[in-house]
Amino acid sequence: MSQEKPKEKKKPLKNMIIYTLVSEWPLTVRKIYSKLKTSDGINVTYQAVFKTVKELVDRDVLVEKDKRYMLNIGWINMVRDMADMMKKRYLSASGNGEIPKDVYFPDPRVTVFLREVGKDIANYFKGSPGCVFAICGGGINFGLGLKYYLSNRGVDLKYRELDRHKIHMKRINIRKEDVQKRKVLVVDSAINTGDTMRNVMKKMDSLKKEFKMKDVKYAAGCDLVGISDWCATRKPYMPISDKGVLSIFW
């Protein structure tokens, strides 16, 4: 009696669209649909491809110009930042407290940020326990940089991350046990329009008294709006080469 072969798990349509645009871009929805049908043999309708492309645009994964689509450079760099973050966490899993500089600070913007405002932020936390909130995306590199910078200077510190999409949907989750009787710092890689940080500020302000936070401050590598307490620069970042990859994600 022959055994049935296990059915191959179908890959999500959004992943297949992304894979298609990795090798060729920009493409119209019709061209993406055609490539999925002919090259990958995917059984999918044009309407499904059109809907998924629009969803990817809404989530800032794709960008559109003249009805042609390509991957968002910002999203590409966010993926790189997330992969880098996972690498850092796995490498630090031994718990020996030794953080190699070439592992934890591969982004030169973080080095500049700590050099410019690290001492001021350390003074802010002096004599008080604290909590650093990093805004997911580029902010994670800055948050982890601050975590180890401050921990190595004796600050009793908690570290948490805030999902950028939940911030925009105003579903920010702050736990009382993370911030009670602590000084809080929210950090992002850059403040461009200020919308993300303002949403976080509003949430923190609404909880500050109820959760008995000692204080709340805000920091960014680059602040184009002028709403942070500390930043390394108020000018746009220039694209920089980082081992062959352009670091232009904020």
DSSP 15-78: HHHHHHHHHS-SB-HHHHHHHHHHTS-----HHHHHHHHHHHHHTTSEEEETTEEEE-HHHHHH
pLDDT, tens digit (0-9, with 9 covering 90-100), for 226-235: 999 999 999 8
Which is higher by pLDDT, 103 or 61?
Answer: 61
CATH 1.10.10.10 range(s) for the chain read 13-71
**Is residue 199 pLDDT above 60, yes or no?**
yes
Q: Determine how β-strand 230-233 pairs with β-strand 241-242.
A: unpaired
CB atoms within 10 A of CB 246: 13
CATH 3.40.50.2020 range(s) for the chain read 77-246
Cα–Cα distances (Å) from 25 to 32, 50, 153, 228, in that order, read: 10, 16, 48, 37
pLDDT, tens digit (0-9, with 9 covering 90-100), for 88-135: 666 655 554 444 444 445 577 888 898 899 999 999 999 999 999 999
pLDDT given at position 240: 41
* Residue 194 pLDDT level (bands cut at 50, 70, 90): very high
The per-residue pLDDT of the chain, averaged, comes to 82
* Residue 244 pLDDT level (bands cut at 50, 70, 90): very low
Cα–Cα distances (Å) from 70 to 15, 56, 90, 245, 246, in that order, read: 14, 10, 32, 18, 17
- CATH code assigned to 77-246: 3.40.50.2020
pLDDT given at position 29: 96
Could you tell me which CATH class the domain 13-71 is placed in?
mainly alpha
